[in-house]
A = this chain, B = another copy of it.
Amino acid sequence: MESRFDGRIWIDLAAHILYNFGAMKWVYIEEIGAYPDQDVEVRGWVYNKRSSGKVRFILVRDGTGILQTTIFGTDESHPLFKKFDALTQETSLIVRGRVREDKRAPGGVELSLQDIEILQVAQDYPITPKEHSTPFLMEHRHLWLRSRKQHAVLQVRAEVIKAIRDFFDGRGFRLMDTPILTPSACEGTTTLFETQYFDQKAYLSQSGQLYNEATAMAFGKVYCFGPTFRAEKSKTRRHLIEFWMVEPEVAFALLEDTIELGEDLILFILERVLTRRKSDLEELERDAAPLEQVKKPFLRLTYEEALPKLQEKGSTIQWGDDFGAPEETIISDIYPSPVCITHFPAKIKAFYMQPDPERPDLALAVDFLASEGYGELIGGSQRIHDLDILEQRIKENNLPREAYQWYLDLRKYGTVPHSGFGLGVERTVAWISKIKHIRETIPFPRLLYRIYP
């Protein structure tokens, strides 16, 4: 047994190990292919082990990949065999050996071991290869993250976020972080988290959009990208209480411009993930073909064109009703690429949306519905640029005028038409990964009644 940490309080043996045995180069598994026939050190955890004839295999994970390491020997007194026997799942260790190319090994290389340094033998790791219930896994989310599938989804997530930022930065958009603590609501007040902000009330932001409109007038094209919060008492596989959203806003852009921007963004994200996260999609058994087929322009349907199609498929929706999950699913099941639904009834959309000049009862809004039943990815619109219309809308919606004074100012001092949208990161990741439940698309999901870990 070599658990160096057991019972040692003040003596940092780890430091000793890391510095004094460090004659070999510490490499990450994802880079190990660059060191053929060289001696290297890998630091990580036991993912699995097995024996087969004269070979002992240890699968070591270090967070960047899983590496097959081998001990070969016929003599049962081999010094590493005793250490091998002590290894349990998630035991932390440092291994050293020679990198060998081997076509049969996962990743094409394996490490022929010369030394094993055990840091801590993990006892009774709760997540075993057998099936566990979802509540159990959620309760152990901090450990569940180490599993292959969770790993793959979260690497897709990181790639999606990187793609989004590169897309906007590459097109000259300025990142303008908008505040989380806000004095008033953007869309309704029933689903807001409230907190005491010194001598007044504050609410957690549901969208950075109103602030984006101010920064768009200052910087031309901007985006914000941060967490948003909805205190919704809904328990569906598509909702999170806390989720990340990117929101671009462009001065002088009309509805059609924002639709094209959304198309380009989605195609950019898909291309990145399909190129760079192929192995993760394979791990998730995600058939890439439907994603590879996504092409622009996406189909555009007005709300009124969509209604009969929905009714045909059994929906009871009537003019003036909002789309629910069933309607989104019907639409997204019909078409292989995302579909843009536009020109919704103004009364079911947010107060700040520009009315259609020819049909003032309609809003110049767009929802992008993902293919394969994943529902809304993007919601956007052209914004009201006219001071009088905006004042009227604020009155109609009984919003406190004082809180919106600054927002009205944007229509007084050089108003211009402008448009933007919000894309939900977790919905996008769920769609691309073809994950059933959105809770797996974020490291620590916040769900109805769940805030641990």
Contacts and interface: CB of A to CB of B under 8 A. Distances in A.
Interface of A: 5, 7-12, 14-15, 18-19, 26, 28, 30-31, 43-46, 62-64, 90-92, 119-120, 122-123, 125-126, 140-143, 145-146, 150-151, 154-155, 158, 161-162, 165, 169, 172, 174-183, 193-200, 202, 204, 211, 214-222, 226-227, 229, 231, 233, 241-242, 244, 251-252, 254, 354-355, 357, 360, 385-389, 403, 405-407, 409-410, 412-417, 442-444, 446, 448-449, 451-453
Contact of A211 (B175, B406, B444): B444
B11 A415 contact: no
A398 to B, nearest CB: 20
A35 to B, nearest CB: 15
A91 B414 contact: yes
B357 A12 contact: yes
A395 to B, nearest CB: 14
Contacts of A8: 386
15 contacts: A5-B385, A9-B386, A9-B388, A12-B354, A12-B357, A18-B254, A91-B414, A92-B415, A120-B414, A122-B414, A126-B413, A142-B214, A158-B174, A177-B443, A211-B443
A62 B88 CA distance: 62
Contacts of A182: 451
Contacts of A199: 449
Nearest to A204: B195
A14 B382 CA distance: 12
Copies of this protein in the complex: 2
A251 B175 contact: no
A174 B161 CA distance: 11
Given A12-B354, A175-B162, A416-B14, A197 B443 contact: no
Given A15-B417, A18-B417, A179-B446, A30 B412 contact: no
Contacts of A451: 179, 181-183, 197, 200, 202
Contacts of A197: 193, 241, 451
Given A28-B172, A254-B15, A198 B449 contact: yes
A254 B26 CA distance: 14
A91 to B, nearest CB: 6
A177 to B, nearest CB: 6
Nearest to A203: B195
Nearest to A387: B5
A257 to B, nearest CB: 9
Given A143-B409, A452-B183, A218 B63 contact: yes
A175 B198 contact: no
A143 to B, nearest CB: 6
B446 A413 contact: no
Given A43-B252, A154-B176, 13 more contacts: A5-B385, A5-B415, A8-B386, A14-B254, A28-B220, A43-B251, A45-B217, A64-B219, A91-B414, A142-B214, A143-B214, A165-B165, A407-B453
Contacts of A62: 220, 251
